[in-house]
Amino acid sequence: MIEWNFVEQNETKPIELQPAPEPAPESKSRGFWRDMLETILMAVVLFLILNTITSRVRVYNISMQPTLKEGNLLVVNKMAYKLGSPKRGDIIVFHYQGTMNEDYIKRVIGLPGDRVEVSGGVVRINGQVITEPYLADLPNYAGVWTVPEGDLFVLGDNRNHSSDSHDWGFVHQNWVVGKAVVIYWPLDRIRLLTSPNLVQAAP
């Protein structure tokens, strides 16, 4: 009679995990410089995009007080009027007389076709008094202007200390750089330049 001997091998040898080989110093260096180059390229692309759609300007005079003070830094949306049209109450930056040498910042009061009248300390648009809660003081001058097609009538919020459309006339819309949207400096003045700084016709 033949006897078969079966041997069970229940015990398994432990598998020894070998540590991953250290990357060569050259490989580490190449990875570092590649990451650095990608970061720099991304920063440059973001800067170019932001520079295309916005600009940063500093306020140098008192013509827009109390809304804007000397030294305030603003973000200007350069795409605002490529995608839409100016509205009464917008604060705009424009190249005066179309030159790049001198920028002005004022508030849009009259749109093309509007009849703007200043008298008795109030502004009327097409015969209707507008409310202006942002004014430093009421205008002490008078006049009547009809805004031509393609132009804007602009005034400073510091009415009696502002060189604007009541002095030198209208602003061509193709002189406009963009719409001021944010005060970002100083930090205690950070805010959006939106309502209630909008001109609204009184009922």
- Phi first, then psi, for residue 92 (nearest 5°) are -120, 155
Cα(26)–Cα(36) distance, integer angstroms: 15
Beta strands in the chain (DSSP E): 54-58, 73-77, 91-95, 103-110, 115-119, 122-125, 128-131, 143-146, 151-155, 171-172, 176-185, 191-192, 200-201
Q: Which of 179, 200, 5 is nearest to 105 (CA)?
A: 179
**DSSP designation for 101:** S
Q: Is 179 a catalytic residue?
A: no
Catalytic residue among 29, 63, 87, 195: 63
To the query of whether residue 63 is one of the catalytic residues in this protein, the response is: yes
> At residue 177, what is the residue type?
V
Q: Which of 37, 137, 57 is nearest to 104 (CA)?
A: 57
Q: Which of 87, 106, 162, 179 is catalytic?
A: 106
Q: Mind telling me the catalytic residues?
A: 63, 106
